Amino acid sequence: MISEVREARAVQSTLMRMSLNFSPGPPMESRLIELETKLAFAEDMLDTLNTTVFRQRERIDLLERQLRLLHQQIQALRPEEERDLRDEIPPHY
């Protein structure tokens, strides 16, 4: 993918030079290098963020499975018949 991007940039650069009839001098070249460097860092950051999001999604999935399991265990421990606390005598009587 990076080679395709570089190739597209080279073609675009060639077309710009042909249409504008100028050759990039040192200031233009340094600007291009700076932009390419920034793009490389941005692509690296994007890859890092994608990896982080993927790992977080895996962790969320695990936590959701654990939560469902705990909910099932709590439901299994509940008595079948619901008690009404108003019918019970308080301990001080």
Question: Rounded CA gap, 61 and 53, in Å?
Answer: 12
pLDDT at position 19 over 80: no
What mean pLDDT value characterizes the chain?
A: 82
Mean pLDDT calculated for residue range 26-33? 86
Whether 73 has a pLDDT exceeding 90, the answer reads yes
What is the distance between the alpha carbons of residues 17 and 32, in angstroms, rounded to a whole number? 14
Question: Tokens 């890859």, residue?
Answer: 47
Residue range 3-15, pLDDT digits in tens: 666 776 776 666 5
pLDDT tens, 34-56?
Answer: 999 999 999 999 999 999 999 99
Average pLDDT over residues 49-76: 96
Q: How much is the pLDDT for 23?
A: 57
Residue closest to 9 by CA, chosen among 31, 46, 36: 36
Helix (H, G, I), strand (E, B) or coil at 38: helix
pLDDT at residue 71 above 80?
A: yes
Q: Domain-by-domain residue ranges, the chain? A: 10-77
